[in-house]
Amino acid sequence: MTIALRGASADALAALTSELESRLGGGADASRIGDDLFTVSELLRSEPGLRRVATDVSVDATAKAGLVTEIFGGKVDEVSLDILTSAVGRRWTVSRNLGDVLEHLSEVAIVRSAGDDSGRLADELHSYAQAVNDNPSLRDALSDPVRSVDDKAALVRGLLEGKALPATITLARQALAGTYRTVAVALATYQQVAAQVHGERVATVRVAHPLADAERQRLSDALSRQYDRPIHLNVVVDPDVIGGIRVEIGDDVIDGTVSNRLDDARRKLAG
């Protein structure tokens, strides 16, 4: 799943994001709202009949609000119910976008629940994603269709509990839902959401050896000046780099690695 919407659905996403941010800024329980909206998004995907009614423009908005209140009233936080009621009263380009947007809003709320630990959250998501990528047995266990989601969630809790923020554990568990193509794609998306919520961009930095704190700070400051916004660094230690540094920010690539210069030299010799 990606949040790449058009028309009415894009307008709904913008309006609902603004509503959510306003309510969270007023002291609403971000963690509870994140859990609620994720649960509702899963239900809407599993119940196409409910999803069709909730997005049907021919059904009166008041009737749809009454339906979701009857189903979810007393089961979710009042703010979660208000956001859901607002969502079903809006127009949607395609019905499945309702579940996609609610899941995205849940991610935003969970990121917000980390509060001042937002930088730590982004780092933990990156570290966990690297652990999944570097450990084939773990990656296979998390993607095994025979294993239940509850079993996989227990594995995630065993790996992260006591070591990571509650928000990190929640997002790692949500990555198992299957709405993204793979767990790795889900975790990469969460890192982007974490950066966007705080007005940042994410830079993946590949180096042969770990960067010292002063080096990280200088690089972050330089990139922030270049892109005119804060940059969060995800540093990947990759021996194939040999030396130098490779920076990836969105579609931009700054490659100053020794391996890249050697490849250029080989191409010139071959040509």
Residue 141: CB atoms within 10 Å: 15
The average confidence (pLDDT) of the chain is 90
Amino acid at residue number 92? W
DSSP-assigned states of every residue in the chain: ------HHHHHHHHHHHHHHHHHHHTT--HHHHHHHHHHHHHHHHH-HHHHHHHH-TTS-HHHHHHHHHHHHTTTS-HHHHHHHHHHHTS--SSTHHHHHHHHHHHHHHHHHHTGGGHHHHHHHHHHHHHHHHH-HHHHHHHH-TTS-HHHHHHHHHHHHTTTS-HHHHHHHHHGGGSSSSSHHHHHHHHHHHHHHHTT-EEEEEEESSPPPHHHHHHHHHHHHHHHTS-EEEEEEE-GGG-SSEEEEETTEEEE--HHHHHHHHHHHHH-
User: What per-residue confidence (pLDDT) applies to 177?
Assistant: 92
User: What per-residue confidence (pLDDT) applies to 204?
Assistant: 85
User: What per-residue confidence (pLDDT) applies to 100?
Assistant: 95
Which residue's entry shows tokens 């790996």?
A: 159
User: What per-residue confidence (pLDDT) applies to 59?
Assistant: 95
User: What per-residue confidence (pLDDT) applies to 244?
Assistant: 82
Contacts 24+ apart (CB under 8 A), 127-132: 128/159, 128/160, 128/164, 128/168, 128/172, 128/187, 129/184, 129/187, 129/188, 129/191, 130/236, 131/159, 132/183, 132/184, 132/187
Counting as low any pLDDT under 50, the low residues of the chain are 1-2
Burial of residue 2, with CB atoms counted within 10 A of its CB: 0-12 exposed, 13-18 middle, 19 or more buried = exposed
User: What per-residue confidence (pLDDT) applies to 26?
Assistant: 95
pLDDT tens profile 184-205: 999 999 998 998 888 878 888 8
pLDDT tens profile 104-128: 999 999 999 999 898 899 999 999 9
User: What per-residue confidence (pLDDT) applies to 239?
Assistant: 80
The alpha carbon of 144 is separated from its chain's Cα centroid by a whole number of angstroms, namely 22
Answer for the pair 156, 173: CB distance below 8 angstroms, yes or no. Answer: yes
Instruction: Tell me the C-alpha to C-alpha distance, in Å, between residue 216 and each of 143, 197, 198, 209.
Output: 34, 22, 19, 12
Q: Using CA atoms, how far apart are residues 59 and 67, in angstroms rounded to an integer?
A: 11
Residue 62: CB atoms within 10 Å: 10
Q: Which two tokens stand for residue 137?
A: 């047995």
